Amino acid sequence: MANWNGKKVFVTGAGGFIGSHLCEALVDLGAEVTAMIRYSSRSDWGNLEFLPSETKGALRIVAGNVEDSDFLARNMAGHECVFHLAALIGIPYSYASPKSYVRTNVEGTLNVLETCRKNEVERIVHTSTSEAYGTARYVPIDEDHPMQGQSPYAASKIGADKVAESYFLSFNLPVVTVRPFNSFGPRQSARAVIPTIISQALAQPEIKLGALDPVRDLNYVADTVSGFIAAAESESAIGKAINIGRGEGITIGELARKILDLMECEKEIVEEKERLRPPNSEVMQLVCNADLAREILGWQPKYSFDEGLTETIVFVSEHPGFYKPDRYAC
């Protein structure tokens, strides 16, 4: 599937952060992309609104919900490759509304997989998350690391991953599970820590965060997207779960200080009680072992951490209306 020119591709979650970058990359490769966004009465295309007008014009955009199997059946027919990114992703909100995470992330994934099976789709790339591993029992984390549902969000994604695995083992469905570690970059909302730090640094007297000692492995979104595309191109990846990450850990406190240094900004960094996860739910260490991605996909990150942070700082600075730095975005 290395030749994407004219390839009919369906992307769920296309209006999201990673999804919008993936759609842009696929259009650039010549694919015919149907971008599925979540329906809203505002007719809002989410992050696709940031795409160049020529790119947006090349997309077929459909609005619906992965919980609606009839909608998927009508709109997914005739596509050769499906990238499934649609999900509820905010961990704090999963504490408040766990059932909605099961409906969207588990049942929605089941609907996508079943529709792909009926349509005999050539390749499905299913999106997992490093949160499925929970706090590391060893680092770096490889794909054999046990899964631990330390939040309803993580549990729902583990469930989705296992449904995808079952469809490969039961029906020989050509599905690949991509497990990104924390992605960042332009268009990411303040639900994520890096835009939160940047937007507060631009507009607030201090930086309010949750726990400062958890360790995260942060990967620039363009590198994450190249991993998704490589997973769709590799025959050897079918049936496997594959980590995508840099393999470098940094604490949230160190990350905040690094961003402030890049912005030439001096502000106090404080832990805010409202932003803390329940103690047993906090994932303390996520550092990626991406050996399998290098071996099977030929993938490795191309952007340095500082390059990615600089691009993200520029985006947040140029789009202040996209953020509400005085409020906690869960």
On the question of pLDDT at 72 being above 90, the answer is yes
CATH of the domain at 45: 3.40.50.720
Within a domain: 256: no
On the question of pLDDT at 1 being above 70, the answer is no
Whole-structure pTM value:
0.96
What pLDDT sits at residue 23? 98
The rounded distance, in Å, linking the Cα atoms of 320 and 228 is 29
On the question of pLDDT at 330 being above 80, the answer is no
On the question of pLDDT at 148 being above 90, the answer is yes
Within a domain: 161: yes
**Are the C-beta atoms of 208 and 200 separated by less than 8 Å?**
yes
Within a domain: 29: yes
Report how many domains make up the chain.
Answer: 1
**Model pLDDT for residues 161-171, shown as the tens digit of each residue:** 999 999 999 99
Within a domain: 258: no
Helix axes 17-28, 221-233, angle to 10 degrees: 60
**Average pLDDT rounded to a whole number, residues 288-316:** 98
Residues 6+ apart with CB under 8 A from 97: none
Within a domain: 202: no
**Model pLDDT for residues 45-56, shown as the tens digit of each residue:** 999 999 999 999
Within a domain: 330: no
Task: Give me the domain span that covers residue 88.
Answer: 8-184+219-246+287-302
**Model pLDDT for residues 247-289, shown as the tens digit of each residue:** 999 999 999 999 999 999 999 999 999 999 998 999 999 999 9
Within a domain: 282: no
